[in-house]
Amino acid sequence: MPDNRPWQFTTLPAFLAEAAVRYGDAPAVEDHGRVLSYRELHAAARGCARALIAAGVGPGERVMLWAPNSAEWIIAGFGIACAGAVMIPVSTRFKGAEVEDLALRGRARLMIAVGEFLGVRHPDLLTPATRAQLGCLVVLGQAGAGEIGWEAFLAAGAATSETAVDARIAALTPQTVCDILFTSGTTGRSKGVLYAHGQFLQVVHDWTGRVGLIRGDRTLVIPPFFHAFGWRGGVVGSLIVGATILPHRAYDAGEVLARVAADRVSVIPGPPAIFQGMLNHPQMAAFDRTSLRLGITGGAVIPAVLVRRMKDDLGFAGVCNGYGLTECGGYGAMCRHDDAIETIANTAGPPMPGIELEAMAPDGRILPQGQTGEIVIRGYIVMQGYLDDPDATARTIDAGGWLHTGDVGRIDAAGNLVIEDRLKDMYICGGFNCYPAEIERMLSDHPAIGQVAVVGVPDDRLGEVGRAFVVLRPGTAATGAEIIGWARRQMANYKVPRAVEIRAGLPVSAQGKVLKRLLRAEALGQGADGG
């Protein structure tokens, strides 16, 4: 019988223990033939905690996790929590110097790292300073000199008693910091966001209800676990409802479509680029997609035409769009899976339960509904602060408790959040404010455009103008000049990109977001043309 008792969220270890009771032998994780039930995942996490304690990791100490999506990542993530330690997840795209920066600033005590991934042996990238900082380097794969393999590491945990793990767990509270996720650093040096057990679990629970995750779902988690979308929404969100997690290591549209068919995937969370890539795959129609039920996206523009194609062409019964940022655990606002297409495409939905979300004027006034300003958030989902950076914390969270997001938007008549763009991405063309997200949304209605990114570039006459980078849909054709001509008939002249470049693909981050800073750097110094 389903267990419908309300959750009482306190800490991650307590949650995992309760999930093991509620869901028992149901599959929690399926990873390339390996299946872990909820009970087995709970036991494995405690086994990892025993190994961490045996390795000398103390309460509150930091453990780095540098690996792609896998069952071991999930075991380690919960194991760190069960040991009373704090997790610092690291991007698998980082190089040695970037890892060193996080290891030293985070004062990491131990690292669990992948061995070889995508042709690179990650431990070999570590600098001498990083290795000196770490008391122990655990490798998922073949261990080298000065390293310990994952199985040997777990075996050493036999020296630690279960009561020692229980004592670590008992010392935790909902206010205890559980992880430090570092921001992307696109506007300067990355900052470590301190987030606590209780707020983590409560916001993910509220999110699962909003998007419609249900027991028995099979969630293909493509966003990296080192990112809030992958770890919190994909992993913990699935575990809250009793779904099965299918970790996916590296995005490839063809591989994703093949897994949908072979593994009977029902839910896919991810940025719009993931779904656009699936739709643009030339053999998309050949794959069985009948198992798909729910597509969950956010973090970028999602045009109405994409929502329709996700439903009509990919076969999703429900599509959700949302908005969030690391400083709020990855959350902020979220549509419902059964909202109208126009609501999903044009808004991020209403604020998450129990929080305040408003548009603020530069002078600190909360603006009336419908007026555009900086989006600010207040409530339990706001971070504990930035790691060792009280000045940056004070600049981000004002005296009234409002977290300043740096995003421009408004609240519409229905109470939904409408994001215009990042403050830093806005450009001014001939005195008019231009928001690339809005222009991208409009350009996406062009029948030949599969994906588009717009950046502002300097212009002698107008100050700044837009340059669009376009990926065409399979089987279509269009020139830059034709797209510009079409845009002039669809939008105000100042919004029309002065140049359109047709490309085979756009550069994306590990999270699947388009890397506009790279496009902007390429566009600088290029003359505007229609080709």
pTM above 0.85, yes or no: no
Cβ-in-10-Å burial (0-12, 13-18, 19+) of 283 comes to: exposed
Last residue of a domain, one of 145, 174, 203: 174
Residues of the domain holding 386? 251-422
Residue 110 · residue 138 · CB < 8 Å: yes
Q: Do residue 347 and residue 435 come from a single domain?
A: no
What ranges in 401-497 are assigned the alpha helix state H? Answer: 436-443, 480-490
Total domains, the chain? 3
Per-residue buried b or exposed e for 354-386, using 16+ beta carbons within 10 Å of the residue's own CB:
ebebbbbeeeeeeeeeeebbbbbbbbebbbebb
- Is there a domain that residue 115 lies in? yes
Indicate whether 331 and 359 sit together in one domain: yes
Residue 279 and residue 333 in one domain: yes
For residues 403 and 236, what is the distance between their CA atoms, to the nearest angstrom?
A: 25
Rounded CA Rg of the chain: 23
Same domain, 388 and 470: no
In this prediction, residue 531 carries a pLDDT of 39
Residue 191 lies in a domain: no
Do 309 and 330 fall within a single domain? yes
In-domain check, residue 42? yes
What is the enclosing helix (H) or strand (E) of 378? strand 373-379
Distance CA 458, CA 524 (A): 7
- Cβ-contact 379, 356 below 8 angstroms: yes
**For the domain that residue 291 is a member of, what is the CATH number?**
3.40.50.12780
Residue 436 shares a structural domain with residue 417: no
pLDDT of residue 506: 92
In a domain, 312, yes or no: yes
DSSP conformation class of 232 = I
Task: Check which CATH number belongs to the domain holding 442 and give it.
Answer: 3.30.300.30
Q: What is the pLDDT of residue 530?
A: 44
Question: Could you tell me if 379 and 417 lie in one domain?
Answer: yes
In a domain, 128, yes or no: yes
| Residue 528: predicted pLDDT | 40
- Mark whether 386 and 456 lie in a shared domain: no
On whether both 287 and 314 belong to a single domain, the answer is: yes
Q: Is 113 found in the same domain as 86?
A: yes
Chosen domain end from 383, 400, 422: 422
Coil vs helix vs strand at 359: strand
Same domain, 476 and 508: yes
| Cβ atoms of residues 60 and 54 within 8 Å | no
Phi-psi category of residue 211: left, alpha or beta, with phi > 0 → left and psi -120 to 50 → alpha: alpha
Residue 103: the pLDDT is: 96
Say if residues 168 and 53 touch (Cβ distance below 8 Å). yes
Decide which of 422, 452, 468 is a domain's last residue.
422
User: How many CB atoms neighbour CB 1 within 10 A?
Assistant: 3
Same domain, 467 and 418: no
Q: Is residue 333 part of a domain?
A: yes
Asked, for residue 113, whether it belongs to a domain, the answer is yes
User: What does each of the 531 residues of the chain score in pLDDT, given as a tens digit?
Assistant: 556 788 999 999 999 999 999 999 999 999 989 999 999 999 999 999 999 999 999 999 999 999 999 999 999 999 999 999 999 999 888 888 889 999 999 999 999 999 999 899 999 999 999 999 998 999 998 899 999 999 999 999 999 999 999 999 999 999 999 999 998 644 457 899 999 999 999 999 999 999 999 999 999 999 999 989 999 999 999 999 999 999 999 889 999 999 999 999 999 998 887 898 899 899 999 999 999 999 998 865 577 888 899 999 999 999 999 999 899 999 999 999 889 988 988 899 999 999 999 999 999 999 999 999 999 999 999 999 999 999 999 999 999 999 999 888 999 999 999 987 666 677 878 666 677 877 888 899 899 999 999 998 887 677 778 999 999 999 999 999 999 999 998 877 878 999 999 999 999 876 667 888 888 888 875 544 443
Q: Strand, helix or coil at 362?
A: coil
**Cβ-based neighbours of 222, under 8 Å, separated by 6 or more:** 69, 230, 248, 251, 256, 268, 269, 270, 274, 512
Q: Does a structural domain hold residue 261? A: yes
Q: Can you tell me whether residue 439 is helix, strand or coil? A: helix
CATH classification at residue 57: 3.40.50.980
